[in-house]
Chain A
Amino acid sequence: MSYRATLLELGTPVEAHRPWPRVVVDREVWWRAALEVAQGHATLLALWSDGREVHMAVLDEAAGEVSIASLACTNGRFPSVGRTHPPAVRFERAIVDLYGLIAEDATDTRPWPDHGRWGVRHPLGAAQACAAEGLPYTFLPAEGPPLHQIPVGPVHAGIIEPGHFRFHANGETVVRLEERLGYVHKGIEGLMRGAPLARAVQLAGRVSGDSTVAIALAFARAVEAAAGVEAPPRAQILRAVMAELERVANHLGDFGAICNDASFSLIHAHCGALREQVLRCSNAAFGHRLMMDRVVPGGVARDLGEAGAANIRALIAYIRQHLPELVRIYDRTASLQDRTVTTGILKPDLARQYGAGGYVGRASGRAFDTRRDVVYPPYDMLRFDVPARTAGDVDARVWIRIEEITQSLSIIEQCLEKLPEGAIAISVESAIADAAGKEATMLVEGFRGDVLAWVRLGAGGTIANAYIRDPSWLQWPLLEAAIEGNIVADFPICNKSFNCSYSGHDL
């Protein structure tokens, strides 16, 4: 029996939830579900709370099915999933900090987003005022006589987001890296509560700026599913055009930045120019360089005109003309290959255990892609490949990105060919006003991997609760594993090859 079938048999499905079942279970079944995930029979997608219940979204990869198990937290407690399944640990620490629920028998009880600076504990649960002087934080130990520690951050040397990295090193070699995140925690889950729809969509688009299209899309699709409406066909295609432009821009930027971290600035300069072209083209086509606030529930906020489409076609031709030479140089420059090949290897087992999405998973043998495996429109009408490799090193992640650019360009071309006439949006206000209490969970493929959005609609066209899980949640811990045994000086290039979002994770 599939994971979902078992869950449905043992629990009570929630009527209001779409399109996949959300099933209320008891502690016993919750625990069994956790074991299933720990044994690798299904993949943990996310673990979150709304204060009353905890929700565990799980993907059955063989069946391509998503299901959610929910447990009511009687007495404010729930059995820890992280105890048997480490990928759940940070999710639980966040739930504990934000809601004050207790994860029973949790192995790691240190705070996560709460740095003791808010002046309040459990801000989304039974909030209590407290001092804002900062909490002490104990890093995990590494033992042995020659070891030394290197603290890095939160403010880093480059133009990057803030986070703290604690290295334990033996000479040049990293013995243990531990991340401490949460510095850019903006409390988005709290800000979503009761937010009018228009504001909630803007918030979603600012969870992680580099994935603004993907996250807004996941959110918009969840709102639409909850309200039982669908964006018109033209909007579906335009959304895909924007999502793929976003993917291309990010992959180009990171390809260049990875080479730059190996001090190879030629590719960086050329990729920077190509990326700039993509942003300018996006601006001309949709009125914003990053296409922020262009995907909205009901459709898209901006139509694509003839000139915009012609611009995009020219852009595709331009990239196709110029990228291959850069790829050739990447492939043939020994000094560059020396830095990327066999550096920062992520083992396939770990990628599978953590359900690593995007290029992180695909470079380590986990060829999952929402666009193909939990398909949503318009990708069911499009032809494309999902590249996959097994080496798991920086080089493999670079190649996946290069190959994905090629695929995305072809997807955009197909979209422009298929673009139907018609409306770019439908009005969703009345449907949403009628759908108070309705819920939905959606999965969308961003450039980093699968983005999950869960929404519960409130009264009068508001959002009662919303949760957004950026792919970075499941990729950050893997960076710790990938850097082990590498030299400290290779950390920047490994980090860039993962390029996890701080903001998307800290929420």
Chain B
Amino acid sequence: MRRLLIEGLLKTPLTEARPGDDDAMLAELAERLQKSARRVLGHSLSIRQVDAGSCNACELEIHALSNVYYDLERFGLRFVASPRHADVLLVTGPVTKNMREALERTYNATPNPKWVVAAGDCACGSGFFGGYANIGSVEAVVPVDLHIRGCPPTPTALLQGLVALMERAAAAT
């Protein structure tokens, strides 16, 4: 173990530079956040992830944000265990009808100001999962501030979206 720890001190870190901006996401944010941001956040955001019916691949890539390559926390973004501690709800999946109430309650339990990010094509309303069991998009249940597309979105795309959200949220306040 000692060897690993010493190596960790000597080797260059694996962490990558922050990804460039995605123009479409920035445009959406610019429009949304002017209206919604009202409070100074001290330049950091707490994220509560909600799986509202995902196939779990979106979760795998959200998990990857915490690995050393993407290291989400260096941007002041962190995942929290309770919606009551959250500024951002990061929602995946087509919103199954069986998860609708849980999503609404999580949203209501999150203090204002809050932002909702729909992550993944399902959450964005791709319509891939229809039928009797699904609502079809996050937007149909709670207001959405940012859409991050992809099936699943890559960690880089997630990072672009979340970092942009954070910076704009801070700037708009």
Interface on A for B, CB 8 Å cutoff? 113, 115, 117-120, 123, 127, 132, 134, 154-155, 157-162, 182-187, 190-191, 202, 206-210, 212, 253, 266, 269-270, 272-273, 275-276, 279, 289-290, 292, 325, 329, 332-333, 501-504
Contacts and interface: CB of A to CB of B under 8 A. Distances in A.
Contacts of B68: 269, 272-273, 276
Dominant secondary structure at the A interface: loop
A210 B51 CA distance: 15
A73 to B, nearest CB: 21
A115 B57 contact: no
B49 interface: yes
B132 A210 contact: no
A9 B64 CA distance: 53
Given A209-B55, A273-B69, A329-B4, 6 more contacts: A134-B101, A162-B99, A209-B54, A210-B60, A272-B64, A276-B64
Interface in B90-132: 93-94, 96-102, 106, 128-132
A190 B96 CA distance: 14
Contacts of A186: 53, 55, 94, 96, 129, 131, 133-134
A504 B130 CA distance: 17
A275 B67 contact: yes
Contact of A118 (B56, B83, B97, B152): B97
A150 B173 CA distance: 40
B35 interface: no
Nearest to B61: A289
Nearest to A134: B101
24 contacts: A115-B98, A117-B100, A118-B97, A123-B132, A132-B97, A159-B59, A162-B52, A162-B99, A183-B53, A183-B98, A187-B132, A191-B130, A191-B131, A208-B55, A209-B60, A210-B57, A212-B55, A269-B67, A272-B67, A279-B64, A290-B60, A292-B57, A501-B56, A504-B56
A333 B98 CA distance: 42
A228 B39 CA distance: 64
Contacts of A290: 57, 60, 152
Contacts of B152: 209, 290
B86 to A, nearest CB: 11
Nearest to A114: B98
Contacts of A118: 97, 132-133
A501 B129 CA distance: 18
A212 B60 CA distance: 12
Contacts of B4: 266, 270, 325, 329
A275 to B, nearest CB: 7
B108 to A, nearest CB: 12
Given A272-B66, A290-B152, A162 B102 contact: yes
B1 interface: yes
A183 B56 CA distance: 13
Given A187-B131, A190-B132, A159 B57 contact: no
The 6 closest A-B pairs by CB, nearest first: A209-B57, A187-B133, A272-B67, A157-B81, A209-B55, A117-B97
Given A206-B57, A208-B56, A184 B51 contact: yes
B71 to A, nearest CB: 10
A117 B152 CA distance: 27
B138 to A, nearest CB: 14
Nearest to A279: B64
Contacts of B93: 184
Contact of A160 (B51, B100, B102): B51
A115 B97 CA distance: 9
Q: Which of B58, B63, B100, B154 has the most CB of A within 10 A?
A: B63
Contacts of B82: 157
A289 B102 contact: no
B102 A154 contact: yes
